[in-house]
Structure 1
Amino acid sequence: MIAGVASITGAAVFSFTLLSKVVERMVSLSVGIMLATSLLHALPEAFESGADTRSLFATLLGGLLAFFVLEKLAILRHSHHHEGDGHHHAHGHDAHQAGKSGWMILLGDAMHNFTDGILIAAAFLANPELGIVTALAIVAHEIPQEIGDFIVLLNAGFSRLRAYVFNLLCSLMAVAGGLLGYFTLDKASGLIPYVLVFASSGFIYIAVSDLMPQMQRRATVKESVPQVFLILLGVGIVLALNHAY
């Protein structure tokens, strides 16, 4: 719980102060963080666990399709809600397009926090000191990812309070994972690679399907150069933290 609250609060301080005025530009940073966290941290950890490779790829495929279906349901629900009301919804539709990525990122984040809880429980069972170090390492890894999440939520139209509360609720999944890991670690540990892959599929889908198309609508050189720079900066942050821990 401490690890979750610390990472959420630390990310909120950066997101709501230093970055709040440049949310649209910071979407690029979020893309870099999300893709790097998934492709350079979570997925390698899952595939190095010894779990069946074909099953992990099947989970990745299933996760991508599941998030596609969730997005499709959100679009259909929105279309049905406004059907025949006689109003033009171009601007509102754009806001909704961003909004659905906010709910999907919360789902992926909840799954990721669940695996963090299992990992912390496993470390504490092995050695209390190792548990503390593991929790601190997870806080360090989570802060840049949570900054990326907050940027997506603000871009999706969430208020600061709403974004903080929902992220905080998602962090409680780490407590659920910790309790499950503590009492049933032998069985639960085998699920960690699959939960990591499913969570990663959500981050990849959101980055590629929702955030990158937003960035592509601003295709001038003046906009594109900072976008590329911030994506690379996000990747660099994750790489630096992976190297440090």
Structure 2
Amino acid sequence: MSAALQGKVAVVTGGSHGIGRATAERFARDGAIVAVGYGHDEVAARDTVERIGKDGGRAFAVHTELGTPGDAERFWAAFDEAGREFVADGKIDILVHNAAKGSFARLADLPEEEFDQVMAVNVKAPFFLTKLALPRLRDNGRIINLASLAATVGSPELLAYGVSKAALNTFTLDLALDLGPRGITVNSVAPGIVMTRNSQYLRDNPELAAQQADRVALGRLGEAEDVADIIAFLASDQGRWVTGQVIDASGGTAL
């Protein structure tokens, strides 16, 4: 256990699996109390909380389906209810927007409904979760947005997803200027391909996985912990002088 985040309260949306889970577990090892946000997979969220507890950390699950009307208000109400034992005053220090909805369609095949849902989860939810968090977020706090290499590298088959993550990068820049006077840093972390449960198609196709790894300067595809460690740095005091940045977390993909 580290003391890098001792006494801090961290919120991680989409914290039940993948990068979110790895981040929640890393925060807990660094001493933070962690709110593990989830939308659908209660079993995975509870398992994450239990794993953290077994390792001596403190965490609780917060259920809200993001991308639906009123989601921000419901999220913070659920946070207050679930975290009553851990966070009596409702204040937080770190907010990580990790929850996201993917889209794998080129423009000609993209349904309007799918576009709207991607934007609702990936853009609108972080906007208004943050808006309602501002009175809760302590000065010198941290906001970390999970973006994607798809926002800066041409990916026609990820069009809606890439557009949503590009919007999140602009949100990062503007919010960093807005909240700088309070000492709050705001950054994006942009992973490339990361081997999470959403990457099963690569596990099932070693040839395709090898082709994708060939595009990475460091010669392999990412793991959730690779990204979580970067997030942990930004969340810590060591990251205090970094704000308004999009941090490439792709191992040097498509250089």
Normalised to the residue count of structure 1, the TM-score between the two structures is: 0.32
Which structure carries more relative contact order (alpha carbon 8 Å, separation 6+)?
1
Higher strand share: 2
- What TM-score do you get using the length of structure 2 for normalisation? 0.31
